[in-house]
Amino acid sequence: MRLLWDQHACLPLQPDADVEPLSRFARPGPTYVSVNVGYAPQTCADSTVLLHRFRAGVTAHPGLRLITDVAEVDAGVDQIAIGFDLEDSNPLDGDLDNVAAFVDLGVRTMLPSYNHANRAGCGCLDTDDTGLTAWGRDLVAEMNRSGMVPDGSHCSARTGLDMCEVSTRPVIYSHSCMRSVWEHPRNITDEQARACADTGGVVGITGVGIFLGPNTPDLDAMTRHLEYAVELIGIDHVGVSTDHSFDAADFLDEIRNHPDSFDDSYTRWGDIRWMPPETFIGLDRHLAGRGWSDADITAVLGGNFRRVAEQSW
C-alpha cells in the first residue's frame, strides 16, 4: 500500500480533453498524479480554462478526485488524487499575482522556463545561458510565498542553479534524468542535482525514452538513472514521474511543425516513446527484485515528493 507519486503527466491541452486516461494509473494504495495545464504557448486565460474543465472532469469521474493538501493524498486508496502543474511561467501573463490565483485552482508546481529563454530565465536548449532574470528571482520568491514549488525541469543549468540559490523552500526537478547516465540537453548535471538536494528538494527521474537512453522507456533504463541519482545525492532526494503524454500525437506534431523549438536530440531516434502508466505502476516490484529495501522503495516512489509537498504547499 505504498504511496505512488507521479509529479508530472500530460493530458491534451484542449478544453474538451477527456480525463479518463488518468484512470490508467489505478493500483492498490494511494496514488497522486500531477497534470500539466500549460506551457509556453498558453496564456493565463488558456490555462485557466483548462483548469476549470479538467477540475470539472476529475470531479465527475468516480475513480479520480481533486486534492488541496497532503492529508487528502494520504486518505485516498480507491481514487487517484489529482493536482496540477505548469511547465512555463508564460501563463502568468507577466503578472506575479497570478501565482496565487493558480495555487487557488490547484497548481502546485511550476517551471520558470520551457526549453528556451523567456522573461524568467533560460531554457535547456539555449546556447547562451544567462540564468534566472531579476523577474525570475521575484517569481521564485512569490512561489515560495504562495505555496507553489519551483521546478527546474526544462530550464537551463544556470537557471536551475540560480533557483536553488534564491529559493527559501525546496526546489524540485519534477521530470528530469541524469546527464552522467545519458547525455541529453534535457537531462541535468550532477551539480544541478546536488544543488536541488541541498534545498531539501527531489529529482524526479522520468519515463521518457529519449531522456532515459536511445528511446528506451523501460524499467531497467529508469532504474539506471535512479540508482545513479541515489548514489550521488542520497535516497531522500530522488523520486519518479512518468512525464507520460496522453497527448502524444499532439506533441509529436508540435515537434514536427516547430523545428525551431526542438533540436535533433528530440528527433534522432524517431518518434518519442513514453513509459505507459501500466509499466510505471510496476516499478516497486522491479526495484524489490533488484534488492532495494522497503524503506528506500517507499521514499523514491512517493515519500520524498510527499515531504516536499508537506513543507511547501
* Residues 46 and 91: beta-carbon distance below 8 Å: yes
Q: How far apart are CA 71 and CA 219, in angstroms?
A: 29
Complete DSSP assignment for 232-296:
HH-GGGEEEE--EETTHHHHHHHHHH-TTTS-GGGTTTSS--B--HHHHTTHHHHHHHTT--HHH
Position of cell 526495484?
287
pLDDT of residue 105: 98
Q: What is the pLDDT along the chain (313 residues), one digit of tens a residue?
A: 899 999 999 999 999 999 999 999 999 999 999 999 999 999 999 999 999 999 999 999 999 999 999 999 988 788 999 999 999 999 999 999 999 999 999 999 999 999 999 999 999 999 999 999 999 999 999 999 999 999 999 999 999 999 999 999 999 999 999 999 999 999 999 999 999 999 999 999 999 999 999 999 999 999 999 999 999 999 999 999 999 999 888 888 888 887 777 888 888 999 999 999 999 999 999 999 999 999 999 999 999 999 999 999 9
| Three cell numbers, residue 214 | 536511445
pLDDT of residue 53: 98
pTM, entire model: 0.96
Picking from 29, 12, 23, the residue whose alpha carbon sits closest to that of residue 283 is 29
Give Cα separations from 306 to 138, 162, 201 (angstroms): 26, 24, 11
76's enclosing H/E stretch is: none
SS3 state of residue 155 = strand
Amino acid identity at 292: W
| Three cell numbers, residue 112 | 520558470
* Residues 32 and 69: beta-carbon distance below 8 Å: no
